[in-house]
Structure 1
Amino acid sequence: MNDERIIELEIKAAYQEDLLQELNKIVAGQQQQIERLEATCKMLNERIKGLSIEGSGGEKVEEVPPHY
C-alpha cells in the first residue's frame, strides 16, 4: 500500500469515529425524550383513571362544552 492510500483510510476512519460519537449523542437524547414521554403518559393515564373512578358514583362527569 502506498502512503496516500493509508492516509485516505485514516481520514475515513476518523470521520466514521466522529459520526459514531454524534449518533451516540443523538440516541442518548432520544432515550431521555422517550423516558420523559413515558412518564407523561403514565401520569396522564393515572389522572384519567382517577377521573373515571370519581365519576362512577352515578353522577355525570361530563360537562357542557363552553360553546353551549
Structure 2
Amino acid sequence: MSAGDHLPARVDELEVRQAFQDDTIQALNDVIAAQQLELDRLRRSLELLAKRQADFAARLPDAAGDEPPPPHY
C-alpha cells in the first residue's frame, strides 16, 4: 500500500475536522453575540440605576447641611 493510497482517507478526515471546526466556530460566535446583547442590556440598566441614585441623592437634604448639632453635643 503506497502513501498515495492513504490520501483519500486523509482528505476525508480533514474535511470532517473542518466541518466540526466550522460548527464550533459558529457556536462560539452565537455565544459571543448573545453575551454582547446581555452586556449591552446590563450596561443600560447600570446607567439607569446610576441616574436614579444621583436623582435620589440630589433630593436628599445636605448631610453636612446648616442644621445645628443636636443638644447633647
TM-score normalised by structure 2 residue count = 0.74
Contiguous gaps of at least 5 residues in structure 1? 59-68
**Which structure carries more relative contact order (alpha carbon 8 Å, separation 6+)?**
1
Is 1:35 equivalent to 2:35 in the alignment? no
Give, in whole Å, the separation in 1 of the partners of 2:61 and 2:34. 41
| Structure 1 outlier segments of 4+, above 6 Å | none
Count of matched residue pairs: 58
What is aligned with 1:46?
51
Larger deviation, residues 5-14 vs 48-57: 48-57
TM-score normalised by structure 1 residue count = 0.80
Q: Structure 1 vs Structure 2: percent identity of aligned residues?
A: 31
Structure possessing the higher radius of gyration over alpha carbons: 2
Q: Counterpart of 1:54 in structure 2: which amino acid? A: R
The alignment partner of 2:48 has SS state of helix
